[in-house]
């Protein structure tokens, strides 16, 4: 059998330790499929003596993980530290600069620096692979990059954050409010102590920008992702959506349009959507991820599975290592980095949609008339309006509106007209229907 693929592994959290366990447990199977063994030769982490449930004695220890790429006995560096900058980025640059292949699960680093790193990998003639950066164990990057290579992708969208999906589906099944379910998710380990990246949509936006680059041949443009999280949702919104035949899911969606100058523009959005019960994404619950890609010849493809966790993420990392062991260098974003198109951010105002609007308003005469007048003046056609009960003394009542299809700009204008109104207890919530 050929010489082993020699691996330096930075980061020994749950995923890093999982990679070592997987290689040890399935070593013979992996070697047979890869054509050569995978051999971890060096490791690095912040704490050397922490008990991680794996025996690290066979491996060389590096206190400075950024120096791992300089080792002569290393063919590929695996970065599982995280963070868009700092030591992770330094290690990535060092590895590619030393003509070493790089495997990473770091979606933030790829979203912010993927174009630079892809250019470095191509110049060095080595692999840059990041299957584990998006949707954990689901091979969606490989599916887009290889399985749909003959297709023009028309749209890519899906549930990209398991924490948010767990929270929303639990709110749906229990009737509890966001704060209570978030606390439970933290206790169960589904949410971080600081859940901001998850619940405010940033994690999903990182992943969406990577998928959009691969799907449309665009330069990765994370800053242009329109992002809104789930922290403003109430149990009453979940209940109202159910009554209308929908569930609420945090969806990332991307497609391209032709701009005013004839050049392609890129639409990227992460926000809560009302998803009809008949749609496959409505049945995705718990911490599961699912991605839909629509190709002009393949039709609609659904990738679904565990979006995080030790086993699934380690599986994706090792799958990338197997590809490298087989000699698969490939192109990180399907086409050369220099050919990725810089696309301007699409103007969403003309996009046609139906919307769900929730208002928390003072319980007094004339409030409904004020809201409907703003809708009329902005050109928004109302399909239905529901007022939920009466407020307690000094409280607020909830008013829900579902619109007919119309340009997004009209709804934006209606919200502008109501801005500063003393009738509104808090800013309106606007969700689109998928």
| CATH value at residue 373 | 3.30.70.260
Residue 148 and residue 88 in one domain: no
242-270: average pLDDT: 94
71-94: average pLDDT: 96
Residue 158 and residue 275 in one domain: yes
Residue 323 has pLDDT above 80, yes or no: yes
pLDDT band at 278 (very low <50, low <70, confident <90, very high): very high
Query: Count of domains in the chain?
Result: 3
Lowest mean pLDDT among 39-43, 160-164, 388-392: 388-392
Which helix H or strand E contains 414, and what residues bound it?
helix 408-418
Query: Which pLDDT score, from 0 to 100, does residue 389 have?
Result: 66
DSSP conformational letter for 346: P
Query: Average pLDDT, whole number, for the chain?
Result: 94
Residue 392 has pLDDT above 70, yes or no: no
Residue 279 has pLDDT above 90, yes or no: yes
Q: Are strands 344-345 and 264-276 parallel, antiparallel or unpaired?
A: parallel
| CATH value at residue 266 | 3.30.360.10
The string of pLDDT tens digits covering residues 329-356 is 999 999 999 999 999 999 999 999 999 9
pLDDT band at 136 (very low <50, low <70, confident <90, very high): confident
Most confidently modeled of 49-53, 129-133, 192-196? 129-133
Q: Which residue has the higher pLDDT, 387 or 163?
A: 163
- Non-local (6+) Cβ contacts of 131 within 8 A are 139, 141, 142, 316, 317, 319, 320
Query: Does some domain include residue 65?
Result: yes
The string of pLDDT tens digits covering residues 113-125 is 999 999 999 999 9
Q: Which domain range does residue 264 map to?
A: 140-307
DSSP conformational letter for 192: -
Which helix H or strand E contains 151, and what residues bound it?
none
Distance between CA atoms of residues 105 and 415, nearest Å: 40
Specify burial of residue 352 (Cβ count, 10 A radius: 0-12, 13-18, 19+).
Answer: exposed
Query: Which pLDDT score, from 0 to 100, does residue 396 have?
Result: 86
Residue 129 and residue 144 in one domain: no
Residue 393 has pLDDT above 70, yes or no: no
Query: Which pLDDT score, from 0 to 100, does residue 229 have?
Result: 97
Cα-based distances in Å from 238 to 232, 284, 380, 391 = 12, 15, 23, 19
285-292: average pLDDT: 93
Query: Which pLDDT score, from 0 to 100, does residue 321 have?
Result: 98
pLDDT band at 390 (very low <50, low <70, confident <90, very high): low
373-379: average pLDDT: 97
CB 157 within 8 Å of CB 183? no
**Known catalytic residue at 107:** no
Q: Which residue has the higher pLDDT, 156 or 262?
A: 156
The string of pLDDT tens digits covering residues 21-34 is 999 999 999 999 99
Residue 163 and residue 206 in one domain: yes
Query: Does some domain include residue 382?
Result: yes
Residue that finishes a domain, picked among 253, 280, 307: 307
Catalytic residue among 100, 107, 142, 207: 207
Query: Does some domain include residue 210?
Result: yes
Strand spans (E) along 23-116:
38-44, 60-61, 76-79, 101-104
388-394: average pLDDT: 63
| CATH value at residue 40 | 3.40.50.720
CB 94 within 8 Å of CB 66? yes
Q: Are strands 101-104 and 128-129 parallel, antiparallel or unpaired?
A: parallel
Which helix H or strand E contains 339, and what residues bound it?
none
DSSP conformational letter for 398: E
CB burial readout 174-209, b (16+ within 10 A) else e: eebebeebbebbeeeebbeeebebbbbbbbbbbbbb
Cα-based distances in Å from 413 to 326, 356, 417, 430 = 56, 15, 6, 12
Residue 404 and residue 374 in one domain: yes
- Non-local (6+) Cβ contacts of 282 within 8 A are 246, 247, 249, 275, 276
Query: Which pLDDT score, from 0 to 100, does residue 426 have?
Result: 93
360-384: average pLDDT: 94
Residue 151 and residue 280 in one domain: yes
90-96: average pLDDT: 97
Distance between CA atoms of residues 288 and 205, nearest Å: 17
Query: Which pLDDT score, from 0 to 100, does residue 6 have?
Result: 97
Query: Does some domain include residue 180?
Result: yes
Long-range Cβ contacts of 418-421 (<8 Å, 24+ apart):
418/370, 418/371, 418/374, 421/370
Query: Which pLDDT score, from 0 to 100, does residue 310 have?
Result: 86
pLDDT band at 391 (very low <50, low <70, confident <90, very high): low
Distance between CA atoms of residues 303 and 284, nearest Å: 11
Query: Which pLDDT score, from 0 to 100, does residue 380 have?
Result: 97
Residue 174 and residue 233 in one domain: yes
Distance between CA atoms of residues 114 and 110, nearest Å: 4
Strand spans (E) along 136-283:
153-159, 226-227, 246-258, 264-276
Residue 388 has pLDDT above 80, yes or no: no
Residue 263 has pLDDT above 60, yes or no: yes
């Amino acid at each position: 059998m050929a010489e082993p693929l020699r691996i330096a592994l930075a980061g020994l959290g749950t995923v890093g330790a999982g990679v070592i366990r997987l290689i040890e447990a399935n070593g013979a199977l992996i070697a047979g499929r890869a054509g050569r063994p995978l051999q971890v030769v060096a490791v690095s982490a912040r704490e050397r003596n922490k008990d991680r449930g794996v025996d690290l004695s066979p491996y060389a220890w590096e206190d400075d993980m950024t120096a791992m790429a300089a080792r002569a006995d290393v063919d590929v560096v695996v970065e599982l530290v995280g963070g868009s900058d700092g030591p992770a980025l330094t290690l990535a640059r060092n590895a590619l600069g030393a003509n070493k292949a790089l495997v990473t699960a770091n979606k933030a680093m790829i979203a912010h620096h993927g174009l630079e790193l892809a250019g470095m990998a191509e110049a060095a003639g080595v692999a840059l692979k990041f299957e584990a950066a998006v949707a954990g164990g689901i091979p969606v990057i490989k599916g887009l990059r290889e399985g749909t290579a003959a297709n023009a992708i028309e749209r890519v969208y899906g549930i990209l954050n398991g924490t948010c999906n767990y929270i929303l589906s639990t709110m749906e099944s229990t009737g509890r409010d966001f704060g209570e379910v978030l606390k439970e998710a933290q206790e169960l380990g589904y949410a971080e102590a600081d859940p901001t990246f998850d619940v405010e949509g940033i994690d999903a936006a990182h992943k969406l920008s990577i998928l959009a680059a691969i799907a449309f041949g665009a330069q990765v443009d994370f800053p242009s992702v329109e992002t809104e999280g789930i922290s403003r949702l109430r149990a009453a919104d979940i209940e109202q959506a159910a009554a209308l035949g929908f569930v609420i899911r945090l969806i990332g969606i991307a497609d391209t349009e032709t701009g005013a100058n004839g050049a392609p523009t890129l639409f990227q959005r992460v926000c809560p959507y009302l998803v009809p019960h008949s749609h496959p994404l409505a049945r995705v619950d718990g911490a599961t991820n699912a991605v839909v890609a629509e190709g002009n010849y393949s039709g609609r493809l659904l990738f679904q599975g565990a979006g995080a966790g030790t086993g699934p993420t380690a599986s994706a990392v090792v799958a990338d290592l197997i590809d490298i062991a087989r000699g698969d260098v490939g192109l990180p974003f399907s086409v050369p980095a220099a050919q990725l198109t810089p696309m301007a951010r699409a103007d969403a105002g003309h996009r046609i949609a139906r919307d769900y609007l929730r208002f928390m308003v003072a319980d007094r005469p004339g409030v409904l008339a004020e809201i409907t007048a703003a809708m009329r003046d902005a050109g928004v056609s109302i399909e239905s309006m529901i007022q939920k009960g009466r407020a307690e003394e000094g409280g607020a009542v909830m008013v829900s509106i579902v619109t007919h299809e119309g340009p997004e700009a009209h709804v934006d204008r209606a919200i502008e007209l109501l801005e500063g109104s003393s009738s509104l207890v808090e800013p309106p919530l606007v969700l689109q229907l998928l």
